[in-house]
Amino acid sequence: MLASACLLVSVAIFSSVYILHSSLTMSFKAVGSALTRTLWTRGQRTPPAARSPKVNRLSTTCRVSGKQQGCDKTKSCSSDSDKPSGEGPSPSSEPPHRCTTADKKRPKEPVGAPGVNGVRRRSYTSAAPVSQSTYLWARYNDTKRLVHDIIPPGACKLLNSSTIYANNEVDLAEVDIYGFDYDYTLAMYSNALEKMIYNTARNFLIKNFKYPEGIQIYDYIPNFAVRGLHYDIQKGLLMKIDAFHYIQAGTVYRGLSPVPDDEVRQLYGGTFHIPLQQDSGFYGKGPKIKQFMDIFSIPEMNLLAAANDFFISNDIDYDPVHLFKDVSEAVGMVHLQGYMYKWVMGDLDKYILRGEETDAVLHRLVNKGKKLFLVTNSPFSFVNKGMTHMVGKNWRDFFDVVIVQAEKPHFFTDCIKPFRRLDSNGDLQWEKIKSLDKGEIYKQGNLFDFLRLTGWTGSKVLYFGDHLYSDLADLMLRHGWRTAAIVPELERETKVVSTDRYAVSLTWLQALTGLMERLQTHRDSESQKIFEEWQQEREELRVMTKNLFNPQFGSIFRTCHNPTYFSRRLSRFSDIYMASLSCLLNYDESYTFYPRRTPLQHEAPLWMDQLCTGCMKTPFLEEMSHIR
């Protein structure tokens, strides 16, 4: 348990965390040797070198036959970490692999711990029995002490928010063409834009849809919702769902108030499972359930919660379906009527972030001989203003093809709508498009004509976007392009993951879960009361670690243990993902991204990159057998 606990900091958080090995100041071999001596000194065990090479340290019992000094001896070994009650640690003078002669007069070992049958006992210098309670709490305290000892302060500070993470192997040397979305990819926006969208849509509800003036008192709550949540249109519930389509307990909200878990279970027929394939559809826009996948949807979730809360608090009868449609239309008006574009173009310094980083990325790629293209749903006037602010008035010289108002995701699936050319003033031209030329601006079109006119196909194309469905899904599944997801939330989440509080709490949570799993065979009433206490502590730890990310919904990547539905889609539709486009500046144009080989449930984590490379603790096979 001691050495393996730190593994959980990297494996249990999310499976594809990268750490640059060049940042490490101590070699794996040196740290492993030092930790090995520490472990075997603390545990008073014989070092691995003194053991029989035939011992399988993954099993709790094994037997090895051999000849020593002319006599046949049989060795037996059992894991010290799971001794039943009434047993103490092995004496330091006696190694764990004891040699015993075939002495028929030797009494047989008693079987089982108090209240537990069928468990092998060993002989010890002191055979005084201990109670179940004493034994269980001793195991608990030993495990907790060792978990805290094994994670030094600042153990995972090497986690870097500017790292690029890989779901699939990508060799940049094979990529010749780089494609980009505009909003939240080339252009990153400040939180002030979300507040403006919320306030304007709220006013539309009151003025255009005649909603009560009382909704005006609900201000925007920046940290209320997170991306990737699902909304039950008919029930008016906002919730977080995991990769297996189960609602995470404690994350269902009606308005601004949480819904008790018992009520949630009752609402969904005695289960937390949601049949998303039936109710939501592939793009998360089904008749019953909608998934909010882009950052622009965060103000919409806030407004839905506020409007629901107003009607409920004032005991006003309403139809949640009508409310959902009205809020969606009000938010859509902000975009369709150009309000958002006017705000951004009117104060570029206020709303656009990291423009100099976008400029640096584009310059670097062009200087390396890469071809670039832009496909965005935004209008030309808006894109032109923003790109001129970030890159300069000659920004179009960077791109071989520029397509605006593309109407993604239909752009990737529709093979009918033709390209239209815009002149320098943004006015539509009427000639038939026979080629896509550098320096020109094109509108609408479809991917099939794009592929035919450019010849850019397959894995030599890498496209960047923030919306997993509208930007990446069809390119990955239908056309074989490499895809890169921009996930700005990574910057904050990696900072949380890097804190000592989170690392220690999560490691202890996993260690406690493993302890409960191994000791659950103690079925007596005294033990069950202790397990109830442990289960309560486990639930408190899960809530605490969740709240470090967001008090209402937690991390966008995980429920308490499983990946979220958003995380599952991220893994499926993106080869690589990163917090911002500027992360590319940390890698050369020939860099290969390798996904971390995370162990399956039946596999032992035996390879180097399974470790928390911030603290470099070495997992031993014997210890791995006791880790979840």
Q: Which residues are catalytic?
A: 181, 183
Amino acid at 549: F
Amino acid in the structure at residue 493: E
Using an 8 Å Cβ cutoff, are 486 and 578 in contact?
A: yes
Closest by alpha carbon to 303, among 332, 345, 278, 275?
332
Tally of CB atoms within 10 A around 281: 15
Query: If we measure between CA atoms, which residue out of 560, 614, 618, 522 comes closest to residue 157?
Result: 614
Cβ pair 278, 289 in contact under 8 A? no
Query: Which residues, at least 6 apart from 595, have a Cβ–Cβ distance to it below 8 Å?
Result: 16, 166, 167, 168, 169
Determine what percent of the chain falls in helix, strand and coil, rounding each to the nearest 5: 40, 15, 45
For the chain, the first-to-last Cα distance in angstroms comes to 10
Residue 207 per-residue DSSP state: H
Half-sphere exposure of 569 (CA within 13 A, CB side): 29
Question: Parallel, antiparallel, or unpaired: how do β-strands 188-189 and 230-232 relate?
Answer: unpaired
Closest to 266 measured CA to CA, from 230, 237, 297, 224: 237
What is the DSSP code string of 347-411?
-HHHHEE-HHHHHHHHHHHHHTT-EEEEE-SS-HHHHHHHHHHHT-TTGGGG-SEEEES--TTHH
Farthest-apart Cα atoms in the chain, separation? 103
Alpha-helix residue ranges (DSSP H) falling in 83-187? 132-150
Angle at 92 between CA 91 and CA 95, to 5 degrees: 85
**CB 20, CB 521: distance < 8 Å:** no
Q: Please report the DSSP string for 250-309 in residue order.
A: T--EETTEEPPHHHHHHHTTS-SB--HHHHTTTTTB-SSEEE--STTHHHHHHHHHHHHH
Give strand pairing partners of 98: 76
In our burial notation (b when 16+ CB lie closer than 10 A, e otherwise), range 464-502 reads: bbbbbbbbbbbbbeebebbbbbbbbbbeebbebbbeeeb
The answer to whether the CB of 420 falls within 8 A of the CB of 444 is yes
Q: Calculate ∠ Cα 286-292-293, nearest 5°.
A: 110
* Own/partner long-range contacts of 502-506 (Cβ < 8 Å, ≥24 apart): 502/545, 502/548, 503/9, 503/151, 503/155, 503/156, 504/147, 504/148, 504/151, 505/541, 505/544, 505/545, 506/8, 506/9, 506/12, 506/13, 506/545
Q: How far is CA 306 from CA 58, 137, 199, 217, in A?
A: 54, 47, 12, 9
Token pair 């979300």 is found at 194
Pairing of strands 170-171, 592-593: antiparallel
